[in-house]
Amino acid sequence: MQLSQKNIDDIIEVVRLAGSKEILPIFPNLLPEQISKKSKQNPRDLVTIADHAAEKFIQTEIGKILPQAHLVGEESVAENPKLLDLIGTSDVCV
């Protein structure tokens, strides 16, 4: 499926909003317990509650714009690597 320019513009706006609503208010004030290691293989690969909040926001909002899309986010893939299989096999994958 070819995305329209409006779809692309809407997705860009969702990402901007995720930054301003979910990341910027949280990230500067993170507590140590709000940061965790994403994987045992790479102890420097960290994830925060801001990361999870932003991804959830993006998934929810893009789901409203493109309900047929499969959403493949960094934190979701860390929890379920099989989501990567959707890339290239789905009609719409964001």
Rounded to whole angstroms, the Cα distance separating 56 from 91 reads 21
Model pTM score: 0.88
Using DSSP, state whether 66 is helix, strand or coil: coil
pLDDT at 89: 92
What CA–CA distance (Å, rounded) separates 55 from 74?
A: 8
Residue 48's Cβ-count burial label (10 Å; 0-12, 13-18, 19+) is middle
Domain ranges of the chain: 5-69
- Strands, E assignment, 1-94: 35-37, 46-48
In order along its 94 residues, the chain shows pLDDT tens digits of: 789 999 999 999 999 999 999 999 998 999 999 999 887 678 788 999 999 999 999 999 999 999 999 999 999 998 999 999 999 899 999 9
